[in-house]
A and B are shown apart, each in its own frame.
Chain A
Amino acid sequence: EAQVTQNPRYLITVTGKKLTVTCSQNMNHEYMSWYRQDPGLGLRQIYYSMNVEVTDKGDVPEGYKVSRKEKRNFPLILESPSPNQTSLYFCASSPGTGRQETQYFGPGTRLLVL
């Protein structure tokens, strides 16, 4: 089944404790992206990757890191999480960046930073 998977789905952590949220897609997509969703602010893009070893900042990159060493994986790293990073995170992928290509979203990771 074609899908985007994220792990973990739920995570509670404390301020300053490094964490990684994994994202994997099995569709051989070139493009991958991370979003966060917050009440009243909607979905905002954190980082995106056009291909292996090619990443760029989205609208809210502060406090996050990403890497794209393999085509299928795009982990999101929080080096020193803070309470304002409590949010619902989504990973997405698409075949490329053509006009007709939509994005496929993972199920989300709900993060609580205490």
Chain B
Amino acid sequence: KQEVTQIPAALSVPEGENLVLNCSFTDSAIYNLQWFRQDPGKGLTSLLLIQSSQREQTSGRLNASLDKSSGRSTLYIAASQPGDSATYLCAVSRIQGAQKLVFGQGTRLTINP
């Protein structure tokens, strides 16, 4: 059974710092991995999707990497801003039923001005 773990559960950093969020999964047979952002009282917003054959994806100040063999992904946020404060979730799609996402419990990120 696929399990997804995100460490740390919460992170607080000063504005302007670069930071890394971690995601690990137990079964390397994944279809893709996605990073989402969740703001309080709102739904999830997709940030980046990495296909299983890819190593990384970039969008603006965000860079996500994938090491399928070791079961790890990282989300790198450059030059953090207070508006980046949110909960970040990673999710993996299993090979069978490609859109059956298994989520981690998230990292609650606070950027202090």
Kindly supply a per-residue 1/0 record for chain B positions 25-42, scoring 1 wherever the CB is within 8 Å of any chain A CB and 0 otherwise: 000000110101000011
A24 interfacial by beta-carbon distance below 8 Å = no
> Chain B contact residues (Cβ within 8 angstroms of A): what range?
20 to 34
Measured in the bound complex, the distance between the Cα atoms of B41 and A9 in whole Å is 10
Which residue of chain B has its CB nearest to the CB of A32? B99
B83-113, CB < 8 A from A? 89, 91, 97-101, 103-106
CB contact under 8 A between A43 and B51, given known A90-B44, A107-B42: no
A74 interfacial by beta-carbon distance below 8 Å = no
Asked if A99 and B51 sit within 8 Å, CB to CB, the answer is yes
B21 interfacial by beta-carbon distance below 8 Å = no
Measured in the bound complex, the distance between the Cα atoms of B94 and A99 in whole Å is 11
Asked if A99 and B103 sit within 8 Å, CB to CB, the answer is no
Measured in the bound complex, the distance between the Cα atoms of B49 and A98 in whole Å is 12
Asked if B42 and A43 sit within 8 Å, CB to CB, the answer is no
A94 interfacial by beta-carbon distance below 8 Å = yes
CB contact under 8 A between A100 and B49, given known A40-B105, A108-B43: yes
Which residue of chain A has its CB nearest to the CB of B46? A102
CB contact under 8 A between A43 and B103, given known A99-B32, A104-B46: yes
